[in-house]
Amino acid sequence: MSLTDNRCRLVLIVPDIADATERARIVGDALKGGDVASVIVPQYGLDDQAFQKHAEALVPIIQEAGAAALVAGDTRVAGRARADGLHVEGNHEAMSEAMEKFSPKLIVGGGNAADRHHALEIGEAKPDYIFFGKLNGDIKPEAHAKNVALGEWWSSMIEIPCIVMGGADPASALVVAESGAEFVALHRAVFEAPERAAAVIAEVNALLDEKAPRFGA
């Protein structure tokens, strides 16, 4: 068993960069830093044609690094780019529809669950994971306390894994891990200074290896 098999793992959210080649290079360099479970590729403000170009550049790089590529946006783009899965930001109905159409061929998860009631509604669709927070919600150094609390509640009761959005400080990953969440999502914490992205991923993994609680311990 590797050090990452029984503790909270990293999920990356790719930065909003207009140039597809530059974006792919930055993400590829970051992934050299160590273990990353999956990478979420948001559509941001791109039209579908531009998003297709970005996804086709990013997906193979993510997969070659051993991570799952999850597209948040147009489902047709996800299929054409041969992504591993879909990140659904909608409600229970959107999640149920995505599960019906794409599971188990693709990983399907997400949901912007702002409270316990909506989390349980989304959970009824039995997604592969549930996401607490917003993909661009890391506006403060620390992880949002509400999301951490939801992750702690969820992981103590429900078998479906959860991802909790971390903060802009890489150290926020440990706070999320201590909640019992299976995954912590980082965005600005990794990509604010792209030249240091790989080093930050290595540092966060070392921190989680040393201090994150072990599942089943």
Q: In the 3-class helix/strand/coil scheme, how is 80-92 assigned residue by residue?
A: HCCCCEEEECCCH
pTM of the model: 0.96
CA-wise closest residue to 109 among 120, 95, 94: 95
pLDDT at 1: 34
**8-state DSSP, 159:** S
pLDDT at 175: 98
pLDDT at 91: 87
> Do 74 and 113 contact (CB within 8 A), yes or no?
no
Whole-Å CA distances, 162 to 5, 64, 154, 198: 15, 24, 7, 24
In this prediction, the residues of the chain whose per-residue pLDDT falls under 50 are: 1-2
Q: Hey, is 183 helix, strand or coil?
A: strand
Whole-Å CA distances, 29 to 11, 91, 168, 169: 15, 34, 19, 20
Whole-Å CA distances, 100 to 55, 76, 107, 142: 23, 15, 12, 36
Contacts (Cβ under 8 Å, ≥6 apart) of 24: 54, 57, 58, 61
